[in-house]
Structure 1
Amino acid sequence: MRTTVLAAALAATALVPATAPSSGAAPAAHHGPTAQERSRSAPQAAPAGLAPCGAGQLCLWARPDFSGAAQVHELSTVDIESCVPLPAGRSAQALVNRTGRPVTTYQSAECGETGEFETYPGGGTWVPRSPYTVRAFKIWES
């Protein structure tokens, strides 16, 4: 089950459209970068139809499909490789990991591995429906 969820999440990140190859023809007048040039240097945005989450952030939503109350966590406010329980009475059922580091989410508020847990890559992973209610997470060094 965990492999299937991770594969689905990775497939969702593949929805980001690839840039078309250059035709080689130069425009008559060039006033700044072309849309193609901007897309190459721009940070990865949310795939079409999925929730936005800023670069360097872990975003969690209370309900599936990125709905309900959102929580945003950044590396500057989180101890790396430490269990971070969500505030009392709060949980998450959808997430986006754009921290640049792997993040493990836990069903247990104590990051216990006796319940469900899953690790998501940090380069841009959108998970509209977590396979369990997330109550804590850890951001890993790499």
Structure 2
Amino acid sequence: MRSTTALTTAALTATALAATLTGAVPVGAAPVAAATGSAATGSAARVAAASPRLGPCDTGQLCLWAKEGFKGARHAHELTGVDIEACVPLPAGTTAAALANRTGRPVTTYQSAECAETGEFETYPGGGTWVPQSPYQVRAFKVWEN
């Protein structure tokens, strides 16, 4: 029979692994390295070590990085400079490979610079979503009403 500590450790490890595999790391997620238990600690530490460090992004901002893992040039957008539900293309010749949505509103990122839905697109909740590796090069985004 598994103990409560082992079950909690397994749940934390599974949550962190799922977040790492999907690329979405919600703010406030329990730190995996805090898990206890002999066998689980080793796997939890490996998952925590594999997780990228979150990039700097202030409350109320949508931050986009040129490279995966919150590296490269960072561009921050605030609601004061963005029209709600309007397509906002990134500057010509630039793309984003990682993002953090701290706007408090859902944000959809697009592979297309025109926000066309014929390419890839994904919507991220605004309560604090960190994506160290977008599944495509982001070329535009829309901020939505709640």
Q: Normalising by the residue count of structure 1, what TM-score does the alignment of the two structures yield?
A: 0.70
Equivalent residue number for residue 29 of structure 2: 15
Query: How far apart are 1:83 and its partner, in Å?
Result: 0.2
Q: Note the 1:87-102 alignment, pairs <5 A.
A: 87-102=91-106
Cα deviations across residues 93-136 of structure 1 (Å, max 9, x unaligned)? Answer: 00000000000000000000000000000000000000000000
Cα deviations across residues 16-52 of structure 1 (Å, max 9, x unaligned)? Answer: 55xxxxxxxxxxxxxxxxxxxxxxxxxxxxx982112
Query: Is 1:49 aligned to residue 47 of structure 2?
Result: no
SS at match of 2:75: strand
The number of aligned residues is 110
Query: How far apart are 1:13 and its partner, in Å?
Result: 3.4
Structure 2 gaps, min length 5: 1-17, 32-50
Cα deviations across residues 34-75 of structure 1 (Å, max 9, x unaligned)? Answer: xxxxxxxxxxxxx98211210000000001000111100000
Partners of 1:9 and 1:101 lie apart in 2 by 19
> 1 or 2, which has the higher helix percentage?
2
Partners of 1:10 and 1:128 lie apart in 2 by 7
Identity percentage over the alignment?
A: 66
SS at match of 1:76: helix
Structure 1 gaps, min length 5: 18-46
Equivalent residue number for residue 126 of structure 2: 122
Q: Is the 8 A contact 1:16 1:48 kept in 2?
A: no
Code of the residue aligned with 1:111 in structure 2: it is: C
RMSD: 2.4
Return structure 1 stretches of 4+ with deviation > 2 angstroms.
7-17
Q: Is the 8 A contact 1:15 1:48 kept in 2?
A: no
SS at match of 2:100: strand
Aligned counterpart for 2:141 among listed residues 120, 126, 137: 137
Q: Normalising by the residue count of structure 2, what TM-score does the alignment of the two structures yield?
A: 0.68
